[in-house]
Structure 1
């Protein structure tokens, strides 16, 4: 059985991108994560230690977005996936990084990179 825990629309300011202005000014990034895990052990014992504390996870994800800048949101997504997979209960994670203020000189709604990573 595989259950899911999702955190969607997590917002944080970061300085990621290849352009100097992106690094200097920063911009808002939006993160969605879905974790695949078995929540039955947590539910059976009503035990937070047997699942993922999504409040703590959200704080750790924001630290990554606000942390060391990278050129590519693909790299940022990988770092966020690594944070998710560091939780023992998590079997795999889907991570989407939205960059709604990407430097595109045309009207657009959003730029999103989505990755799926699993334990080896």
Structure 2
């Protein structure tokens, strides 16, 4: 059995980007993270040790978002790597990072990068 845990639209202020103004001023980012694993045991035991602790995933996301990077791809890759290290039972991870106010011409909700990996 495969189950999903999804963190949706986690809003974090951070300082990522190639332009100097992005690393100086910063902006809000929205993060969506989906992990898949066999969580059937937790259905019966009601024990946190038998599932994926999404609060711990949230902590990893916040830690990695504090580290300024040029590229959102790099940040997403670090998050993916560290979540998998913390929870080796995960069989699939998808991460979407949206920069809500990119320094570009035009009105938009943001620009996103999405990466995923199946293990």
- Shared fold per TM-score greater than 0.5: yes
- Report the TM-score, using the length of structure 1 for normalisation: 0.91
Q: After TM superposition, what 4+ stretches of structure 1 lie above 4 angstroms from structure 2?
A: none
SS of the equivalent of 2:113 reads strand
Q: Which residue of 1 aligns with 2:74?
A: 75
* TM score, norm. by length of structure 2: 0.92
List alignment gaps of at least 5 residues for structure 1.
Answer: none
How is 1:57-68 mapped onto 2 (pairs within 5 angstroms)?
Answer: 57-66=57-66, 68=67
Partner of 2:39: 39
Q: CA RMSD in A?
A: 1.2
Asked if the contact 2:94/2:115 (under 8 Å) is kept, the reply is: yes
Structure 2 residue aligned with 1:90:
90
Structure 2 SS opposite 1:31: strand
Structure 2 regions of 5+ residues with no counterpart?
none
Aligned residues: 118
Aligned to 1:17: 17
| SS of corresponding position for 1:90 | coil
What CA deviation, in whole Å up to 9, does each residue of 1:1-56 have, x standing for no partner? 21100001111111110000001111111110000101101222221112111122
